Chains A and B, each alone.
Chain A
Amino acid sequence: MTPLLIAQIGLTLFVFFMLLNSAAIMVYVERKVAALLQQRLGPYLVGPKGLLQPLADVIKLMFKEELRPKAADWFLFALAPIISAACAFAAFAVVPFGAQTTFFGLLKEPIKLQVADVNVAVLVIFAIASMSVYGIVLAGWSSNSKYSLLGGLRSSAQMISYELSYGLALASVLIIGNSLSLTDIVNGQSGYWFHVIPRWFIFLQPVGFLIYLTAGVAETNRAPFDFPEAEQELVAGYHTEYSSMSFAMFFLAEYINMVTVSAVATNLFLGGWHGPFLPEYLGWIWFLIKVAALLFFYVWMRWTLPRYRYDQLMTFGWKILLPLAVINLLVTAAGVLYFGV
């Protein structure tokens, strides 16, 4: 048990714990921001300013009765929320959230603030996003109910459609960043142009950033693209037959996917943990600020924009976003070839 191993295990547990916390915080933030946008108060009774509301929600969900329809395929019915939640957590394992640190000299060598620094990190995130489709498809199928099946198939069709634009936006950043490792991409964004403008890739890839964010929002079934879980909200889509902690796991997965998309967008486009005024080892504060800004944007979008109808959603994904992403890739490649990076 070298100190390095202890630090790695501690880091893994810390990331897991913080993801769970972030889901709880997002529950509160969503309700409070939604309320303020709609000119009402939101939760204010439980704890000071309603801050303990997520705790109350979790306790309520834990005490609810766990239903299982008799005709449901019990193995797949139990497996689906597990797949969703596991993929949501796993995707964050390759996201770095700070510079290398030795924890104030406690360790002999610095460790990266990243659970696993694989050199194909961007592809791993994409792969795990592809796998999380199965959670939804299996949930829809195993519930053995027509609404669930339709909702599950629609939602997964939406997810695999927007994965293409997601991947092409990632590819555009890869051309500029010149590496598949997220740490290298973030380190390529340090420094300033003309001492004022930070070298973030969002300035080189504005269209790519918008495509990535749009595809990310559609991937997580949120905001204007939440038709599969909203129209049938009267009947609730693929999680109709789920209750108590299974339902909680689906929503946990959704919030953590949001956090992962925001974190990856921060690393790819907004410079990760680089920022002015703070020393390198406090970079995680900047990371948190940027991720929080993107998450607020997510919530803001949900409660401001009307949702797309399903055919409008698919038309947008295939006929508008995908060609735009391809053109963006071509222009990026031409630019890199001409100007050289």
Chain B
Amino acid sequence: MTLFYLFGAVAVIASLLVIAQRNPIYSVLLLIAAFGALSGLYVLLDAPFVAVIQIIVYAGAIMVLFLFVVMLLNAPHEETEHDEKVHPLRRPGPMRFGAALAVALVVELLWALTRDGGEPAAFEAPAVSSVRTIGHVLFTDYAFAFEVTSLLIIAAMVGAVVLAKRDSHSGGASAPPM
């Protein structure tokens, strides 16, 4: 149980710090820490495969790409000194909307935490923890979703290649020797 609180605390604190950082690189690293904590929670929920896949795919591949983008685009530090002195609901448009949304979310969270839980048997999911079972189910019951996901990924890859190629074409010179 203490492991649950430990991982949960790390996940919550890291997630909150993600949006509280001025330096975007720190935000990315804190998000990776949050994913690590989530992976620990998956292990506690008896899903080691999902935990490892979370690290491989999310923390190991997607966040590396995020990090590349943040580094190469040289995202600046946020300039927020003036806005921080003003009450959240009086700040310019997007911040005001964000503050109102945060209030709404906190109210919902309190409501969800204080009402009675549903029936314990409401979620009758079969225990799908071993890799063999996941693979079997993935290719039989959820085969359609699997194939559609692969189509989405191919579409994204083709889109990325087309966008990257178009830039170097209009530039005229060859791509930088990177």
Contacts and interface: CB of A to CB of B under 8 A. Distances in A.
Contacts of A134: 29, 32, 64, 67
B71 A149 contact: yes
Contact of B71 (A126, A153, A160): A153
B10 interface: no
A133 interface: yes
Residue among A133, A134, A138, A141 having the largest count of chain B Cβ atoms under 10 Å? A134
A127 B48 contact: no
A156 B131 contact: no
Interface SS, A side: helix
A124 B64 CA distance: 18
B60 A131 contact: yes
A120 B68 contact: no
Interface in A75-125: 76, 118-120, 123-124
Given A76-B25, A130-B61, A153-B68, A120 B49 contact: yes
A239 interface: no
A322 interface: no
A103 to B, nearest CB: 29
A139 B59 CA distance: 18
A199 to B, nearest CB: 22
Q: How large is the interface on A (under 10, 10 to 19, 20 to 34, 35 or more residues)?
A: 20 to 34
B68 A133 contact: no
Nearest to A76: B25
B52 A124 contact: yes
A24 interface: no
A154 interface: yes
B99 interface: no
Contacts of B55: 127, 130-131
B163 interface: no
A123 B134 CA distance: 15
Interface string A137-178: 110010000000110011011001001000000000000000
B56 A123 contact: yes
A133 B61 CA distance: 9
B154 interface: no
B68 A123 contact: no
A311 B61 CA distance: 21
A52 B170 CA distance: 59
Nearest to B70: A141
A119 to B, nearest CB: 7
Contacts of B72: 153
B61 A160 contact: yes
A119 B46 CA distance: 12
B32 A126 contact: no
A130 B56 contact: yes
B71 A130 contact: no
B56 A126 contact: yes
A120 B64 contact: no
B32 to A, nearest CB: 7
Contacts of B56: 123, 126-127, 130
Contacts of B68: 137, 153, 156-157
B67 A137 contact: yes
B53 interface: yes
B52 A123 contact: yes
Interface string B163-178: 0000000000000011
A126 B59 CA distance: 12
A208 B166 CA distance: 37
B35 to A, nearest CB: 11
Contacts of B52: 120, 123-124, 126-127
Contacts of A131: 55, 59-60
Contacts of A311: 177
Contacts of A124: 52
Contacts of B32: 134
B48 A118 contact: yes
B44 to A, nearest CB: 14
B49 A130 contact: no
Given A73-B25, A137-B71, 14 more contacts: A76-B25, A76-B29, A118-B48, A119-B48, A123-B56, A126-B56, A130-B61, A131-B59, A133-B64, A134-B29, A137-B68, A153-B71, A156-B64, A311-B177
- The 4 A-B pairs at the shortest CB distance, nearest first, are namely A130-B60, A127-B55, A123-B52, A127-B56
29 contacts: A76-B29, A118-B48, A119-B48, A120-B48, A120-B49, A120-B131, A123-B52, A123-B56, A127-B60, A130-B56, A130-B60, A130-B64, A131-B55, A131-B59, A131-B60, A133-B64, A134-B64, A134-B67, A137-B68, A138-B29, A149-B71, A150-B178, A154-B178, A156-B64, A156-B68, A157-B68, A160-B64, A180-B131, A311-B177
